Amino acid sequence: MGACDFETCGFLLLLNTQREREREIDMASFLWSLCLSFLFLVSGARSAQPKKPVDVQFSKNYVPTWAFDHIKYFNGGAEAQLILDKYTGTGFQSKGSYLFGHFSMHIKMVAGDSAGVVTAFYLSSQNSEHDEIDFEFLGNRTGQPYILQTNVFTGGKGNREQRIYLWFDPTKAYHTYSVLWNMYQIAFFVDDVPIRVFKNSKDIGVKFPFDQPMKIYSSLWNADDLATRGGLEKTDWSKAPFVASYKGFHIDGCEASVNAKFCETQGKRWWDQKAFQDLDAAQYKRLKWVRQKYTIYNYCTDRVRFPNTPVECKRDHDI
């Protein structure tokens, strides 16, 4: 995660009249959804929305990985809470490894003063030149908006950070964060809104995750050396314990051994079909909305770190 100096200005701009802003955003989102629904009815356009997640119990797809006593289960395992205190955080991982699929989680973020705290939901392979697909939620001081950072590692290379402010308060209720991964693209969604796409650009020299199965992980941990304003804001342990809540635990993927290079059903599953090989026009409009209104950092436009624009950025609709 690169340290950047944009946070302070971003906070000053977006914290002004926060309550009014949230009401305006909620109305804008509602009107936008109505508009898209109307367009689909009129044009008969086929939506490329992933299949609706199927909510299951934690134990069906996941196991705890460390600090087992810092994970609490509710409603027969349909919900789980991760707890961070001054002694330890905790985390869990999927039972299986997967080559492509749709992976989704409902998460309610740490409420109140969460500066220095990171809640992570990501996919990662187990090899040295690993592939990784990241959601990282960077906590903040009370009243300041959460930052969602995404990143993509291919062949061990990352440095593709993008950061957005969420258009809602992620601590008030559960919201859905999901990844659609196939041979053609990796698409990140927040409540069905695409916030990022990483296209397969092997033809122009950019590695793409296609032959290393990944497990799904989540963790809650102290990262006050980098999480909030580049590490300037430290964790206030008087506010501990910090709690992130989870439900859903949806996995719809092609399960494979860690050393597999392909799956038996590869090319035959719903996410391989043409409708999911790219975002549709309406989704690209929503992605543009996120880019214009909520993006606060994009590696594609960082000329200090990347004097030459990374070649995949134009294909990914990031410039």
Q: What domains appear along the chain, each with residue ranges and CATH number?
A: 7-315 (2.60.120.200)
Tell me which H or E stretch contains 286.
helix 281-293
Q: What is the pLDDT of residue 265?
A: 85
Average pLDDT, the chain: 87
Binning pLDDT at 50, 70 and 90, where does residue 102 land?
very high
Q: What is the pLDDT of residue 25?
A: 45
Q: What is the pLDDT of residue 36?
A: 45
Active site residue 233: no
| Burial class of 306 by CB neighbour count within 10 A (0 to 12, 13 to 18, 19+) | middle
Query: Given a cut of 70, is residue 302 above it in pLDDT?
Result: yes
What does the pLDDT average to over 271-285?
95
List the single range of 161-170, 182-191, 238-247, 257-266 with lowest mean pLDDT: 257-266
Catalytic residue among 7, 79, 136, 312: 136
Query: Given a cut of 70, is residue 103 above it in pLDDT?
Result: yes
Q: What is the pLDDT of residue 226?
A: 67
Q: What is the pLDDT of residue 6?
A: 44
Q: What is the pLDDT of residue 21?
A: 46
List the single range of 49-63, 74-88, 172-186, 252-266 with lowest mean pLDDT: 252-266
Contacts 24+ apart (CB under 8 A), 3-7: 3/226, 3/230, 3/231, 4/230, 4/297, 4/302, 5/230, 6/296, 6/297, 7/147, 7/228, 7/229, 7/230, 7/296
Specify whether the CB–CB gap between 300 and 159 falls below 8 A: no
Query: Given a cut of 80, is residue 2 above it in pLDDT?
Result: no
- Rounded to the nearest 10 degrees, the angle between the axes of helix 281-293 and helix 18-43 is 170
Higher pLDDT, 137 or 22: 137
Q: Model pTM? A: 0.85
Q: What is the pLDDT of residue 56?
A: 98
Q: What is the pLDDT of residue 232?
A: 64
| Burial class of 180 by CB neighbour count within 10 A (0 to 12, 13 to 18, 19+) | buried
Catalytic residue among 20, 22, 24, 132: 132
Write phi, then psi, for 91 (nearest 5 degrees): -170, 175
Binning pLDDT at 50, 70 and 90, where does residue 277 land?
very high
Say how many CA atoms lie within 13 Å of 66 toward its Cβ.
Answer: 11
* Look-up of token digits 């995750």: 209
Q: What is the pLDDT of residue 82?
A: 98
Active site residue 136: yes
What does the pLDDT average to over 278-303?
96
Binning pLDDT at 50, 70 and 90, where does residue 229 land?
low
What does the pLDDT average to over 207-234?
85
Query: Given a cut of 80, is residue 91 above it in pLDDT?
Result: yes
Distance CA 21, CA 116 (A): 25
Query: Given a cut of 50, is residue 18 above it in pLDDT?
Result: no
Query: Given a cut of 90, is residue 230 above it in pLDDT?
Result: no
In 3D, which of 245, 183, 238 has the Cα closest to residue 218? Answer: 245
Residue 76 falls in which region: left (phi positive, over 0), alpha (psi -120 to 50) or beta: left
The set of residues, in sequence order, having a beta carbon less than 8 Å from that of 208 and lying 6+ positions away, is 154, 198, 200, 201, 202
| Burial class of 3 by CB neighbour count within 10 A (0 to 12, 13 to 18, 19+) | exposed
Distance CA 213, CA 262 (A): 9
Query: Given a cut of 90, is residue 224 above it in pLDDT?
Result: no
Query: Given a cut of 50, is residue 95 above it in pLDDT?
Result: yes
Specify whether the CB–CB gap between 166 and 254 falls below 8 A: no
